[in-house]
Structure 1
Amino acid sequence: MALETCFVRTWSLHAASGLGGAGRDRDRLLFGGGGGGAARQRLSVASPSPIVAPLRPASSSRFACRCKNAVDEVVVADDKNWESMVLGSESPVLVEFWAPWCGPCRMIAPVIDELAKEYVGKIRCFKVNTDDSPNIATTYGIRSIPTVLVFSNGEKKESVIGAVPKTTLTTIVDKYVGS
């Protein structure tokens, strides 16, 4: 899902009859498969069709990202970058407040990682270590961890306390993304 929304395969026209040329051999090595059709189809968002001349991948760039500032991982937020990264974000933001000694925090961390990958380009995911950034936690009244806050346009919109199931978080996130 993330790659389909973010990356598109780049192609260039190759006027020569390079159907079995070095470019195709290079694709076979990079993407697997002898025929290239099925393997290439799975990786390609747009299915090119040779109209005038055979198409082959551009040699300079294999994939082009269509998402500006798309990050598919949870980023650490702290006192230094809170305003610019969280409050100043144009997209909705999910923030997990946690601490390394917190067992339930370790349970929900993989769920937050999955959400970051599934909603890449639609929502940004951050984590705040309450031991390292107590001022942020105090500002938002964080008294228990893990606590997940959702921000939209710099304003706190939702709050979830505890290690909740992924479905609970996806229901909340879906309210703020244009799915």
Structure 2
Amino acid sequence: MVTSKMTKLSFIIMSLISIIASLKAHELGELKRSSMTLYFQDYFGGPNATMKPVTFSADAWSFKQFGTIFCTDDLITVAMDQGSAQVGRAQGIYVTSALDGSNTHVLISIVFTNEEFGGSTLEVQGASKQFEKVREVAVVGGTGTFRLARGYATFETVHLDMSLSYSVIEGNFTVWHY
């Protein structure tokens, strides 16, 4: 008798969970795939720096120095040229997290300001092998157009001018979202 009631109760609970899950999926719409290439205009020195160390453990900071934390607010454009159309900002932190300086932990919000995606975000997080030609990190979330995003991004430094403390980083994003 008790087993029969427990079986019926379990069936009712599982049915309710299934109904609620299908309602939530219906509210979100269909899962979509988006791919895009964006260019980060990065000034890592000088009076207009968009990336700065905020803490480090010795007299001088270095990208290779374990424990160094950088804060960033890079302009994002649709092409390599910094005068091309603006898409948004890359805002967040990098932490040199490997003792030998080979990995940086990335926590970046891609904050879209353009007309197409304005107000939406993509959240990027993970270990980046900072001295490799192409670095891959996870896209772990998003808002607005990219609600519940998941996927990956690759980053490659496509231009570097040490005299200006300036680089352009190409970001290729592939995400699934609702």
Pairwise TM-score range, normalised by the shorter structure: under 0.3
After TM superposition, the score normalised by the length of structure 1 is 0.21
Higher RCO, Cα 8 Å, sep 6+: 1
Structure with a larger share of its residues in helix:
1
